Amino acid sequence: MLNKLVNEYRVFNNYPKGMRILLITNLIYSLVLPIIEMFIGAYIMRNSHEAKLVVIFQLALYSGIPLTFAINGFLLRKIKIAWLYSFGMLLSGVSMSAMMMLHELDATGIGVAGLIMGLSYGFFWANRDFLALETTDDNNRNYYYGLESFFYTLTGVIVPYVVGVFIGATDEHHWFGGNTNMAYRIVTASVFLLTIISSIVVHRGNFVNPKQERFLYFRFHVLWRKMLGLASLKGLAQGYIVTAPAMLIMKLVGNEDVLGTVQAIGAIFSAIVLYLIGRMAKPKHRIYIFSFGLLLFATGSFINAGLYSSLGVILFMLCLVMARPLLDVAYFPIQLKVIDTVAAIEKRNQFTYILNHELGLYVGRLIGCGLFILMATYIGEDFALKYALVIIGLLQLLSIFVAQNIIKSKY
């Protein structure tokens, strides 16, 4: 076993330094993402008991991302990319602190906190995507995203379990006078510490800013327009992937401890599978990995709607925990390959496509989150929690045909 780990370490060291630094940075920050994604929703549900407010937070977050992508493009002309990347990570702690400072959770306060988190995500993902594009090529991207997904899935085992048990124990054993919100504040402080460490690590890489060229365009090659369609379909489910577990657990089960435990159990198996996929899968396998992930998500949504119980939530989360990284490990290499291809054809800055891709995602996110808010407002939260997921799951299956068409395109 030790020899195998040493061998894997040697394999890792054979890759370029920039790619390795980026992976280590993302490993540390991956300890933060499960807290943001799982427990902010749980915090809102605990203190407001309104699922709609969780989706409002997510919609505000998504609204901040494309705006920040554009701002980031201009700032890259004067500021080093590593500094903007660090700033994005640190802002996530600021957003959580703003949430904890609210005396009463209402749509306005939650919207502001969500917008700050959107700024954080915008700086983080805009620069992360560009650095991933610059430090990898099509031959090593399966390994890169396989290892990164392995990190995210592994931390998705450890972090939700530890944080969930901590918050649950605070409630059960009356730590801090039984003030569960104090436990959330301690978790927020931990987020700040981790973002500082990851910000230090990223500065060890000699990353170069993109060329100072025009990056705002409105007309694109037909291949890129297909990629935008795929991005919009991906965006449909993103709000639900993040918020649905917390909303369903807090509504049907009612405890952060369960939220963390279920997330951890489901992620153990997928962590191992994903690493193996990253090591062994070839570019030709991406469509099969992608299709299986989409089918898992759709299956989970039907199970949730059919049972709509604690068992249904657990089965849905197990499907989701496996589906999400499968989709990512296939989708991102497809996206970067298209960017490489279209940037060469149109002779444009690669950041052009990173920014435009975010707008494609936002269209899907707006439709997906808007669907839930409309259903919850005019029909009822239970109806929305049951059937919005089913609708999104079915629509997402169209992505299989779009992705297959993109992969088979010859230009």
Each residue's pLDDT, cut to its tens digit, for the chain (411 residues) gives: 666 667 766 767 777 787 888 888 888 888 887 777 767 777 787 777 777 888 888 888 888 888 888 888 788 888 888 899 888 888 888 888 887 787 777 888 888 888 888 888 888 888 887 888 788 877 777 778 777 877 777 777 778 778 777 877 777 777 877 777 788 888 888 888 888 888 888 888 778 787 776 667 778 889 999 999 999 999 888 767 767 776 777 677 666 556 566 666 666 666 666 667 766 777 788 888 899 989 999 999 999 888 888 888 888 888 887 787 788 878 888 888 899 899 889 888 877 888 888 889 888 888 888 888 888 888 888 888 888 889 999 999 999 999 999 988 766
Buried b (16+ CB within 10 A) or exposed e, 239-277: bbbbbbbbbbbbbbbebbbbbbbbbbbbbeebbebbbeb
What span, in angstroms and rounded, lies between the C-alpha atoms of 405 and 403? 5
In the block, residue with structure tokens 């502001």: 112
- Ordered by where they begin, the domains of the chain are 16-207 (1.20.1250.20), 219-410 (1.20.1250.20)
pLDDT for 11 equals 66
| First CA to last CA distance, the chain | 45
Tokens of 351: 């950041």
Distances (CA, A) of 58 to 12, 198, 215, 369, 377: 35, 24, 27, 8, 16
State if pTM tops 0.85.
no
Tokens of 9: 């370490």
Please tell me the distance from the alpha carbon of residue 244 to that of residue 389, in angstroms, as a whole number. Answer: 9
Label residue 407 exposed, middle or buried (CB < 10 Å: 0-12, 13-18, 19+): middle
Closest listed residue to residue 142, CA positions, set 293, 330, 335: 330
Identify the pLDDT of residue 302: 93
Please say whether the beta carbons of 98 and 84 come within 8 A.
no
Contacts of 272 (CB under 8 A, 6+ apart): none
Yes or no: say if 308 and 319 are a contact pair by the CB < 8 Å rule. Answer: no
pLDDT score at 41: 75
Residues in the chain: 411
- Contact assessment for residue 73 and residue 351, using Cβ atoms and an 8 Å cutoff: yes
Residue type, 209: N
Distances (CA, A) of 275 to 130, 147, 150, 165, 298: 23, 6, 5, 27, 23
What local confidence, expressed as pLDDT, does residue 279 receive? 67
